[in-house]
Structure 1
């Protein structure tokens, strides 16, 4: 390969190397200063209490505090929601691993092989016993490196240290607003009815992922629901009525005959007609329900004939029968301005029983209408991939 070709390929190669090196730099931990202070203060208090009580116990070997407990403190106080930091994980993981380490010292003369076997077997046991705890591997290794041959070492200081640290974690985390033990609860409802995944979907995804996560399954589900809700609000929350309304709605005037209004409803397959004046200002709304109110619905036969009679012009100058839209329309109309957020209309459709809301501009002129169909279309666009 000539020199020119090498020079042409060098920038790309350097970019690959830089990208590879950048993968070693971790992402920032997204907690504020207050949470960080809470974590390191708790860890310090927990270790201090454990060490102080450990010194009160008689121990022939002089061991009153084991090093792996420092790692346990990180989990208990910094990430108390982690499945790896729960009381049984700390106590069972450290104690069982220490027992495994002692057994390996007694059974395997070569310290190197004993160390490897102790860590491997400790992990193998922590899985089925549901006490997977990273510092447990350190407890097994510590037992081998310090050549512990008495099983009492797993009781004092390992078990004793672990119990004291867990008790300190329960008190401290509770006082500082953290749930510990972090009992798994059903995820709170997010209010997002159009959620695109279920609990069984998450279980399928986790089975496919097939790796240990340092977050509980229920917490993960709740986080995903909150993320979906945030995306939902981002997509729909910024939408205004002018973005989703049906523009140039079919409207009628006060003097429009009932026959003409009914024909428009039938022709366009709609259920409501805004009623406007000459300046397109809203004065009412006429709906299919308004027509039905003037038909005797108690008599179930010949409803069609009675409706035809209602919309038929009488030809009289004076009549008790309504002839025009203004005589049967609803005058009190729920409206919304075109710059109003669509999210604010949700309660009107879901709880208020509205099926259509006229939209007006700053001059109170009719500029559009939002129906349930328009709202569903906006919801679909907000949650689709």
Structure 2
């Protein structure tokens, strides 16, 4: 497994002429911590973070300035062949929240975030079980049921008030993305 298997691609990026206002909106809309800055040939030329944008100040004058005035031109990136361990080491050592992934010609091909790395450490069934458990807790307000998942098949066991509640729980579980089947038992 390497960066190409872990990264989010295609990367959401801006170019140096993108306004501070537009970059701020993109960060907010996507929930990213930073955006790679690429030239017209998609070569990585910088990075702009939420902190960079906040430091620039959001006034009418700065909002319409280009990102090139606030971006950092010195960018730490990684090749597509980097292992998850190498990506993690770089991100932790450099205190990065995201790491652009580039080809040897510095062409941006993706971005690895901390959550991308955490995702490979957590088995898909465990993630799905946590999502189902969260949905059930939101419905009931307490952890009344036990959730287990095997290959996307979800089993929910525990006390149900009545048959109607059992059907509601089963329907709710089916709404969680990734659930391939549901079994509800007392």
Q: TM-score, normalized by length of structure 1? A: 0.31
Q: Does the aligned pair in 1 maintain the 2:56–2:62 contact within 8 Å?
A: no
Deviations 1:82-136 (A, max 9, x none): xxxxxxxxxxxxxxxxxxxxxxxxxxxxxxxxxxxxxxxxxxxxxxxxxxxxxxx
Q: Larger deviation: 343-352 or 246-255?
A: 343-352
| Separation (CA, whole Å) in 2 of partners of 1:340 and 1:379 | 16
1:271 to 28, 33, 39: 33
1:333 matched to 2:95? The reply is no
CA distance in 2, matches of 1:310, 1:288: 18
Counterparts of 2:97 and 2:113, CA distance in 1: 6
Q: Tell me which of 37, 50, 55 is aligned to 1:288.
A: 50
Contact 2:14 2:38 (8 Å CA) reproduced:
yes
**Which of 114, 121, 138 is equivalent to 1:372?**
114
Aligned Cα RMSD in Å?
A: 1.9
Question: Structure 2 matches for 1:1-385, cutoff 5 A?
Answer: 239-295=1-57, 307-309=58-60, 311-313=62-64, 323-381=65-123
Shift in CA distance, 351/362, structure 1 to aligned 2, threshold 3 Å: closer
Structure number with the higher helix fraction is 1
Residues 1:312 and 1:340: Cα distance change in structure 2 (over 3 Å): closer
**Residues 123-157 of structure 1 deviation map (CA, whole Å, 9 limit, x = unaligned):** xxxxxxxxxxxxxxxxxxxxxxxxxxxxxxxxxxx
How far the C-alpha of 1:372 sits from its partner, in A, is: 0.6
Give 5+ residue unaligned stretches, structure 1. Answer: 1-238, 296-306, 314-322
Q: 1: distance between equivalents of 2:102 and 2:43?
A: 8
Q: TM-score, normalised by structure 2?
A: 0.62
2:25 and 2:54 mapped to 1: Cα distance?
15
Distance 1:286 1:273 in 2: 5
> Larger C-alpha radius of gyration, 1 or 2?
1
Q: CA 1:335 to 1:364, structure 2 compared with 1: closer, same or farther past 3 Å? A: same
Q: How many residues align?
A: 126
Deviation digits for residues 316-341 of structure 1, max 9, x if unmatched? Answer: xxxxxxx1000100111110001111
Q: Structure 1's 310 and 380: CA in aligned 2 closer, same or farther, altered over 3 A?
A: farther
SS in 2 for 1:284: strand
Higher relative strand content: 2
CA distance in structure 2 between the aligned counterparts of 1:310 and 1:378, rounded to whole angstroms = 43
